[in-house]
Amino acid sequence: MGLVLLCVIWLITFVSTYFFIAKTWWFPHGASAATAALDHQFAVTFVLMGIIFVAAQLALGLFVWKYSGQSSSSRADYSHGNLKLEIIWTTLTAILFVGLNLMGSPIWAAERFRPAVDGATRVEVTGMQFAWYFRYPGPDGKFGIARPELEDPSAGGEAALGLDPADPASKDDVVTGIMEVPVNREVEVILRAHDVIHSFFVPSMRFKQDAVPGLAIHMHFTPTETGDFEIACAELCGLGHYKMHGILKVVSQDDFDKWLAAREAEKQ
């Protein structure tokens, strides 16, 4: 029985580890400035945890095989433990876990502690059951007033967000169903939700943040490659949660300027 257990535990360990190392299923290709640091921190954590995982499982398998008592007539080792060993592994794991935490902290700080740079592309992202709306401030650079009582989701676009037509700052705001941004320039995202909590998740940008009713959450990321990237909703928001998706279109600065100018012209 000891040998069977050893085989099963080791097999589970090797197969599980193989698919991690082979990267059969892995992060999607990263196309943002945050990718390198985040993926590196993941890799470091993965290697360290992987070593402990394999070592602990192998030891477990080995021990149950080696110390299976059926064949032995002598008694087990009478020992209540070993204080020195306890102190050693307590200290080592404390250093490991706290160290890992400190290593990852600068990445978190870079993503979350500073506001977006001046000159970032500003996009207000609003989640509503079950769609994402993207608002650009228009030529005046200001987001106009939106009034919940004016919201009309069936009308789509500006009306869905309840933009107040009486406010001049609202008038030139552009609301779109896809999110277009220029490459290699920071994007400032202002996240809002009108009904329930949603979560703005762009796997290729290594970006995620909940959109919470009552809050305007300012975040930033920098796309580094052009292309179309899928946006998902990552926080359970109701029956259409699984189909609340969108497209992030990263284009050159020129293409972005042309696109935005065309959208603004449509408003006139």
Partner 1 sequence: MVAQESHQHAAPQGFIRKWVFSLDHKVIGLQYYFLALTAVFVGMFLSLLMRIHLIWPTAILPLLGEIKPETYLSLVTMHGTIMVFFVLTTAPQGGFGNYFLPIQIGAPDMAFPVLNMLSFWTTFVAYVVMLAAFFVVGGAPLHGWTGYAPLSALQSSGPGEGLGADLWIISIAVFCVASLMGALNFITTTLDMRAKGMSMWRMPLTCWSWFITAILGLLAFGVLLSAGILLLMDRNIGTSFFLPLGTINGQMTGHKGGSPLLWQHLFWFFGHPEVYIAILPGMGVASQVLSTFSRKPIFGYKAMVYAMLSIGLLGFMVWGHHMFMSGMSPYSAFAFSIMTMAIGVPSAIKTFNWLGTLHKGRIRFQSPMLFAIGFVSLFVSGGLSGPFLAQPALDIPLHDTAFVPGHFHLIMGVAAIFGIFAATYYWFPKMFGRMMNEKLARIHFFLTLIGTYCVFMPMHYLGLAGQPRRYSQLTELQYLHPLIGLNTFMTYAAIVTVAAQLIFVSNLFWSMFKGPKASDNPWEATTLEWTTATPPPHDNFGGRTPVVHNGPYEYSVPGAPRDYVMQTDPATVAAH
Distance of CA 236 to the CA centre of its chain: 15
- Residue 128 burial by CB count (10 A; 0-12/13-18/19+): exposed, middle or buried? buried
- Cβ distance to partner 1 smaller for residue 94 or 117: 94
Q: Which is nearer to partner 1, 73 or 268 (CB)?
A: 73
Residue 64 makes contact with partner 1 by CB under 8 A: yes
Q: Which of residues 11-50 bind partner 1 (CB under 8 A)?
A: 12, 16, 19-20, 24-28, 34, 37-38, 41-42, 45-46, 49
| Stretch in the footprint of partner 1 (CB under 8 A) among 54-62, 119-127, 169-177, 258-266 | 54-62
Q: Measured between alpha carbons, how far is 130 from 237 in angstroms, rounded to an integer?
A: 8
E strand or H helix at 97, and its extent? helix 83-112
Question: Cα separation of 61 and 49, whole Å?
Answer: 18
Regarding 100 and contact with partner 1 (CB under 8 A), the answer is yes
What's the rounded Cα separation, in Å, for the pair 9 and 72?
A: 23
Least separation in angstroms between residue 34's CB and partner 1 is 8
- Asked if 147 contacts 161 with a C-beta cutoff of 8 angstroms, the reply is no
Between residues 243 and 267, which has the closer beta carbon with respect to partner 1?
243
Using CB under 8 A, which of the segments 78-86, 134-142, 177-185, 258-266 binds partner 1? 78-86
Is 224 one of the binding residues for partner 1 (CB under 8 A)? no
Smallest gap from residue 173 Cβ to partner 1 (A): 18
For the chain, give the number of residues.
Answer: 268
Token pair of 124, please?
């207000």
With contacts defined by CB under 8 A, name the span among 101-109, 116-124, 133-141, 259-267 that binds partner 1: 101-109
DSSP string, 220-249: EE-B-S-EEEEEEE-S--STTGGG--EEEE
Please, which residue, 228 or 257, has the CB nearer to partner 1? 228
Q: What is the CA radius of gyration of the chain?
A: 26
Distance (Å, rounded) from C-alpha 239 to C-alpha 8?
A: 40
What's the min distance (Å) between Cβ of 166 and partner 1? 19
The reply on whether position 149 binds partner 1 by CB under 8 A is: yes
Closer by beta carbon to partner 1, 169 or else 212: 212
Contacts made by residues 258-265, CB under 8 angstroms, sequence distance 24+:
259/180, 260/136, 260/174, 260/180, 263/136, 263/174, 263/176, 264/138, 264/139, 264/172, 264/174
List the one residue from 183, 185, 212, 259 that touches partner 1 (CB under 8 A): 212
- Residue 258 near partner 1 by CB under 8 A: no
Q: Which of 21, 47, 70, 265 is the binder for partner 1 (CB under 8 A)?
A: 70
Cis preceding-peptide flag for 97 (omega within 30 of 0): no
Q: Closest distance between partner 1 and the C-beta of residue 188, in Å?
A: 16
Is residue 142 a contact residue for partner 1 (CB under 8 A)? no
Decide: is 84 part of the binding site for partner 1 (CB under 8 A): no
Contact residue for partner 1 among 59, 166, 261, 262 (CB under 8 A): 59
